[in-house]
Amino acid sequence: KNQVEQSPQSLIILEGKNCTLQCNYTVSPFSNLRWYKQDTGRGPVSLTIMTFSENTKSNGRYTATLDADTKQSSLHITASQLSDSASYICVVSAEGNTPLVFGKGTRLSVIA
């Protein structure tokens, strides 16, 4: 069964600190993996996308890694800001005309 598991479920960090969010998946055959940021009451916004041949990708203070062998991904946030408070969702796409598989997300709270 295609699944995406994220950890931790929630996280509270101080402004300026770094943090790393984890994503494990069992989706096969793998096509791509995306990290989305979803603010409360808004739609998801894409942060990064990686195919099986890419093992790291950065977008400003966000850096995602992918290990296609172990089927794990991480999202590292550097020098966190209050505006980083949101849910971060790991989404994996399988090859072909199949629905996306969503993780349940990690709810990040950045506090002053």
Partner 1 sequence: GAVVSQHPSWVICKSGTSVKIECRSLDFQATTMFWYRQFPKQSLMLMATSNEGSKATYEQGVEKDKFLINHASLTLSTLTVTSAHPEDSSFYICSARVIRLAGGGGNIQYFGAGTRLSVL
Task: Please report, as ranges, the residues that interact with partner 1 according to CB under 8 A.
Answer: 31-32, 36, 41-46, 49, 51, 53, 89, 93, 95, 97, 99-100, 102-105, 107
CB of 77 to partner 1, least distance (A): 20
Q: Select 43 or 60, whichever has its Cβ closest to partner 1.
A: 43
Do residues 7 and 104 make contact, with C-beta atoms less than 8 angstroms apart? no
Distance CA 5, CA 22 (A): 8
CB of 99 to partner 1, least distance (A): 5
Q: Select 33 or 77, whichever has its Cβ closest to partner 1.
A: 33
| Half-sphere exposure for 76 (CA within 13 Å, toward CB) | 9
Least Cα distance to 26 among 98, 103, 96, 80 occurs for 103
